[in-house]
């Protein structure tokens, strides 16, 4: 069987690497891929938005299953287009991808389905939005409705911040006209964040191991929000009781509500969760795997990923229900190495050295994200997040040590990474349990 992965980030490298391990898979292609997916699979020079080109390729190569990494092509209907062409593809339809692509859709769905989420209001004009924030007695978060490459959420401390956020999203349209036509203003919550992902097909929900991401750019959770600077799995915060609560109070009612609205969800449903003093709240849903959460998750996954995704596409996901997934008990830690300046402006084309040395550290896999090969066959940087250095260890502390030992062997001009991935779990004392 030949498989095609769509995308070019660290998540997609992890998908290619894991799918290539399946005895059922002969070859994994990645479009457009990065320098790492070219090593574990084969890259195809077709952009993710070129649905016709991708469909032509999939037909020519008799691709048996296509797996979509990022949200953009999902929100634009790549799954509908492939299915119309008679091709098997894993991911939600355009209509179902709204759960991520429209925050208004997601919040209204959560309200209707009684899913615990931050109190909110929807606005389609700046004046009532301004009046609303002036009359709140608590800090708020202002969110652009549409996709904004992870940047359309502005966490505010003061009324002035919130007024400025409304200005940026609705008046200056910094995140695009469509994304900012409507906004959500919601209560700002405090607590620890958790990424809970599940495979969904029909009514069947198969939760994956939980992970914790580190969204801020710098140590101690300071600096601007990023796509994610590192992750670990399992997350000690995610007790079986908490996961059970998230499944029964959020995932199940959400999946059922989507089915009732005739937009059944098939794919990965990712709940961004915040554990607050008042209980668990869902901050957002994503319609795809997390990046970098996928990297430590797939280091630990022992179940054949191809069989799992094929089962979801063929409506046989209940074969894997009731805890039928197999995981390595050892924790995994992923440290993201980024280009200087990220998440702001950064330069590309820096030569990456030390990858072979890093790969020699036992139980380490260096997943590529923003990398490519240049004409001299050197690996060069080509994005903000460049690598996800991921390690397994007998304890979280051991996994962390190995990931940092490997990261220290890798160099490129301007490289930076957080030094405290996993520390919160270690400090809580739970992360180092054998």
Which residues of the shown chain bind ligand AMP in the complex (CB under 6 A)? 118, 141, 143, 153, 155, 186, 188-189, 193, 215, 225, 272, 283-284
Taking alpha carbons only, the member of 66, 68, 92, 72 closest to residue 80 is 92
- Spatial distance between the Cα atoms of 91 and 276, rounded to a whole number of angstroms: 31
CA 30 to chain centre: 18
Q: What is the DSSP letter of 49?
A: T
Minimal distance, residue 92 CB to ligand AMP, in Å: 17
Supply the DSSP string of 361-428, one letter for each residue: STTEEEEESSEEE-TTS-EEE-SSEEEEEEEE-SSHHHHHHHHHHHHTT-B-TT-B--S-TTHHHHHT
For residues 61 and 190, which CB has a smaller minimum distance to ligand AMP in the complex? Answer: 190
Site for ligand GLY contains 212 (CB under 6 A): no
Minimal distance, residue 272 CB to ligand GLY, in Å: 7
Minimal distance, residue 212 CB to ligand AMP, in Å: 11
Site for ligand GLY contains 72 (CB under 6 A): no
Where in 223-242 is the site for ligand GLY (CB under 6 A)? Answer: 227-228
Minimal distance, residue 143 CB to ligand AMP, in Å: 6
For residues 193 and 219, which CB has a smaller minimum distance to ligand GLY in the complex? Answer: 193
For residues 380 and 387, which CB has a smaller minimum distance to ligand GLY in the complex? Answer: 387
Of ligand AMP, ligand GLY, none, which one does residue 153 interact with (CB within 5 to 8 Å by kind)? ligand AMP
Torsion of CA 35, 217, 346, 5, to 10 degrees: 30
CA 224 to chain centre: 18
Please pick, from the candidates 40, 80, 213, 423, the single residue that binds ligand GLY as defined by CB under 6 A.
213
Contact yes or no for 371/382 (Cβ under 8 A): yes
**Nearest position to ligand GLY, beta carbon:** 228
- Spatial distance between the Cα atoms of 219 and 38, rounded to a whole number of angstroms: 32
For residues 80 and 145, which CB has a smaller minimum distance to ligand AMP in the complex? Answer: 145
For residues 89 and 194, which CB has a smaller minimum distance to ligand GLY in the complex? Answer: 194
Minimal distance, residue 150 CB to ligand GLY, in Å: 6
Site for ligand GLY contains 296 (CB under 6 A): no
For residues 388 and 431, which CB has a smaller minimum distance to ligand GLY in the complex? Answer: 388
- Spatial distance between the Cα atoms of 65 and 90, rounded to a whole number of angstroms: 7
Minimal distance, residue 87 CB to ligand GLY, in Å: 26
Taking alpha carbons only, the member of 218, 216, 217, 212 closest to residue 192 is 212
Of ligand GLY, ligand AMP, none, which one does residue 291 interact with (CB within 5 to 8 Å by kind)? ligand GLY
Minimal distance, residue 418 CB to ligand AMP, in Å: 15
From residue 296, how far is each of 31, 60, 78, 193 by CA, in Å?
22, 34, 27, 17
Q: Exposed e or buried b for every residue in 22-33, given b needs 16+ CB within 10 A?
A: beebeebbbbbb
Supply the DSSP string of 98-129, one letter for each residue: HHHH-HHHHHHHHHHTT--B--EEEESSHHHH
Count residues binding ligand GLY (CB under 6 A). 7
Of ligand AMP, ligand GLY, none, which one does residue 290 interact with (CB within 5 to 8 Å by kind)? ligand GLY
Encoded one letter per residue, x for contact with ligand GLY by CB under 6 A and - for no contact, window 255-294 reads: -------------------------------x---xx-x-
Minimal distance, residue 213 CB to ligand GLY, in Å: 4
For residues 254 and 381, which CB has a smaller minimum distance to ligand AMP in the complex? Answer: 254
Site for ligand GLY contains 207 (CB under 6 A): no
Helix (H) or strand (E) segment spanning residue 154: strand 153-155
Of ligand AMP, ligand GLY, none, which one does residue 10 interact with (CB within 5 to 8 Å by kind)? none
From residue 408, how far is each of 214, 353, 354, 355, 404 by CA, in Å?
19, 11, 9, 10, 6
Residues at the contact surface with ligand GLY, assessed by CB under 6 A? 213, 227-228, 286, 290-291, 293
């Amino acid at each position: 069987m030949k498989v095609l992965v769509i995308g070019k980030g660290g998540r997609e490298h992890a998908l290619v690497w894991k799918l290539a391990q399946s005895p059922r898979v002969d070859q994994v292609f990645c479009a457009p891929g990065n320098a790492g997916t070219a090593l574990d699979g084969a890259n195809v020079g077709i952009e993710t938005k070129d649905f016709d080109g991708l469909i032509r390729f999939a037909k020519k190569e008799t691709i048996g299953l296509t797996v979509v990494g990022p949200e953009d092509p999902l929100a634009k209907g790549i799954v509908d287009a492939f299915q119309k062409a008679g091709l098997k593809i894993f991911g939600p339809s355009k209509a179902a991808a709204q759960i991520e692509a429209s925050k208004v859709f997601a919040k209204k769905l959560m309200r209707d389905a009684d899913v615990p989420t931050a109190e909110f209001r929807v606005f389609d004009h700046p004046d009532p939005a301004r009046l609303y924030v002036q009359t709140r007695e608590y800090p708020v978060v202002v969110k652009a409705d549409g996709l904004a490459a992870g940047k359309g959420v502005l966490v505010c401390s003061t009324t002035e911040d919130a007024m400025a956020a409304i200005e940026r999203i609705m008046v200056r349209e910094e995140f695009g006209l469509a994304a900012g036509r409507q906004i959500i203003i919601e209560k700002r919550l405090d607590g620890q964040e958790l990424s809970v992902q599940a495979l969904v097909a029909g009514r069947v929900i198969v939760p994956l191991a939980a992970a914790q991401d580190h969204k801020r750019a710098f140590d101690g959770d300071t600096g601007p929000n990023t796509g994610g600077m590192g992750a670990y799995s399992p997350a000690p915060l995610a007790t079986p009781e908490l996961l059970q609560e998230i499944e029964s109070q959020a995932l199940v009612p959400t999946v059922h509500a989507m089915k009732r609205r005739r937009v059944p969800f098939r794919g990965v449903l990712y709940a961004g969760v915040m554990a607050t003093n008042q209980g668990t709240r869902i901050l957002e849903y994503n319609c795809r795997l997390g990046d970098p959460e996928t990297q430590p998750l797939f280091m630990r996954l022992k179940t054949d990923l191809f069989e799992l995704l094929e089962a979801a596409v063929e409506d046989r996901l209940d074969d894997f229900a009731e805890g039928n997934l197999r995981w390595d008990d050892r924790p995994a830690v992923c440290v993201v190495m980024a280009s200087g300046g990220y998440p702001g402006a950064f330069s590309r084309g820096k030569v990456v050295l030390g990858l072979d040395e890093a790969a020699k550290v036992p139980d380490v896999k260096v997943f590529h994200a923003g990398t490519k090969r240049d004409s001299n066959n050197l690996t060069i940087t080509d994005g903000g997040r460049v690598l996800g250095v991921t390690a397994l260890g007998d304890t979280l502390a051991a996994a962390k040590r190995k990931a940092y030992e490997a990261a220290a062997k890798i160099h490129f001009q301007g490289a930076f990474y957080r030094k405290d991935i996993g520390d919160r779990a270690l400090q809580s004392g739970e992360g180092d349990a054998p």
